[in-house]
């Protein structure tokens, strides 16, 4: 099937950018106000009234504007009908809900348009930080309107965000060349930090989901980085299974050496 013209993705980018901003303002109205919180997935994952309100706003606005697109959101029951659509919205109304509930500012609204398995337009909006990332396939990536790019090796050590248990699987000699960055609760925002050069890379434990990744994946790609599985393969979205295995996001030239360290973690 022939992909839609770039102008169509730019129209979608404008749409999802506006939707992410509106959803962010909805979520921000709950921030620091002790919203109601429930737990899903056998009590492992929190969801707040803010997540649901932002999700409702996004679904109404986006599906109303593009009724022919499929829909995949963390806060909407999965409908297998999405698999019959070449183009879908992939949404996380609040990525970093635990941080949001705790009153930490590192959370964001994540919205992507995915076409034939890959993101073609992406918006991340972190309203508590006043930060917005926008990207489209074949186009520029911008943070608050300014171009961004990944960092090269700019010193003796690489700044890497990684869980401690994954760090422990890395070869000790290689580990000496890493500076571990403190935990960043929003995975989408963490990948965006690779895109804007604040960190060089992040390792991602298995069981992240499409909605955590799709928008940030494109933002990173347009900034000169890649998000891959442990074999170096590009991720595919809108599959029947929306969970992913161990991943790495990094500036493209740095990725091979980092992936070589992931073998133990990917077997764990």
Sole residue written with tokens 């003796």: 156
Q: How far apart are CA 24 and CA 127, in angstroms?
A: 6
- Domain end, chosen from 119, 147, 175, is at 147
Tell me, yes or no, whether 153 lies in a domain. Answer: no
Q: What angle do CA 143, 255, 195 make, to 5 degrees?
A: 5
65: helix, coil or strand? helix
Domain containing residue 53: CATH number: 3.30.540.10
Residue 196 is predicted with a pLDDT of 98
Give the confidence band of 68 by pLDDT, cuts at 50, 70, 90: very high
How do 158-161 and 178-181 pair as beta strands?
A: parallel
Instruction: Please identify, among 104, 120, 147, the residue that sits at the C-terminal boundary of a domain.
Output: 147
User: Is residue 187 classed as helix, strand or coil in its secondary structure?
Assistant: helix
Can you give the pLDDT at residue 267? 53
pLDDT in tens, 113-162: 999 999 999 999 999 999 999 999 989 999 999 999 999 887 789 999 99
**pLDDT at residue 7, rounded to an integer:** 64
pTM tops 0.85, yes or no:
yes
Cα angle at 127 between 191 and 11, to 5 degrees? 75
Q: Minimal CA–CA distance to 98: which of 176, 40, 164?
A: 40
Chain length of the chain: 268
Per-residue pLDDT of 147-202, as tens digits, reads 999 998 877 899 999 988 888 888 999 999 999 998 899 999 999 999 999 999 99
Give how many domains the chain has, as a whole number. Answer: 2
Residues 113 and 172 in one domain: no
- Reported as a pLDDT band with limits 50, 70 and 90, residue 1 is very low
Q: How far lies 17's CA from each of 29, 74, 132, 200, in Å? A: 19, 19, 9, 26
Q: 187-195 vs 210-222: helix axis angle to the nearest 10?
A: 10
129 & 223 share domain: no
Q: 129 in a domain, yes or no?
A: yes
Q: Which domain holds residue 40?
A: 6-147
Which of 6-20, 77-91, 124-138 has the lowest average pLDDT? 6-20
pLDDT of residue 264 exceeding 70: no
**CA 123 to chain centroid:** 9
**Is residue 6 pLDDT above 80, yes or no?**
no
Q: Does 103 share its domain with 30?
A: yes
Each residue of 210-253: pLDDT tens digit?
999 999 999 999 999 999 999 999 999 999 999 999 999 999 99
Instruction: Work out the angle at residue 250's Cα, subtended by the Cα atoms of residues 244 and 255, and round it to the nearest 5 degrees.
Output: 90
Final residue in a domain of this structure, among 115, 147, 179: 147
Are residues 29 and 52 part of one domain?
yes
Let me know: does 268 contact 239? Beta carbons within 8 Å. Answer: no
Residue 121, SS3 per DSSP: strand
180 shares a domain with 140: no
Q: Token pair for residue 91?
A: 């949404």
Residues 171 and 72 in one domain: no
Alpha helix (H) ranges present in 94-236?
97-102, 164-167, 172-175, 187-195, 210-222
């Amino acid at each position: 099937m022939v992909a839609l013209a770039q102008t169509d993705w730019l129209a979608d980018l404008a749409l999802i950018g506006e939707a992410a901003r509106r959803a962010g303002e909805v979520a921000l109205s709950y921030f620091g106000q002790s919203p109601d919180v429930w737990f899903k997935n056998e009590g492992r994952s929190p969801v707040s009234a803010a997540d649901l309100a932002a999700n409702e706003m996004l679904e109404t606005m986006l599906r109303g504007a593009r009724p022919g697109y499929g829909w995949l959101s963390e806060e909407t029951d999965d409908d297998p009908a999405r698999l019959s659509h070449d183009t879908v919205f992939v949404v996380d109304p609040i990525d970093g809900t635990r941080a949001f509930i705790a009153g930490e500012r590192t959370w964001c609204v994540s919205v992507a348009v995915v076409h034939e398995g890959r993101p073609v337009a992406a918006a991340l909006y972190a309203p508590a930080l006043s930060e917005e990332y926008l990207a489209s396939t074949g186009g520029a990536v911008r943070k608050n309107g300014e171009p961004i790019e990944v960092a090269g090796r700019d010193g003796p050590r690489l700044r890497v965000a990684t869980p401690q248990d994954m760090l422990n699987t890395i070869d000790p000699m290689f580990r000496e060349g890493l500076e571990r960055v403190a935990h960043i609760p929003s995975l989408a925002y963490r990948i965006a930090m690779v895109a804007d050069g604040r960190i060089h890379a992040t390792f991602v434990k298995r069981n992240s989901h499409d909605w955590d990744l799709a928008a940030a994946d494109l933002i990173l790609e347009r900034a000169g980085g890649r998000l891959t599985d442990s074999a170096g393969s590009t991720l595919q979205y809108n599959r029947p299974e929306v969970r992913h295995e161990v991943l790495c996001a990094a500036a493209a030239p740095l990725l091979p050496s980092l992936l070589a360290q992931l073998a133990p973690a990917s077997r764990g």
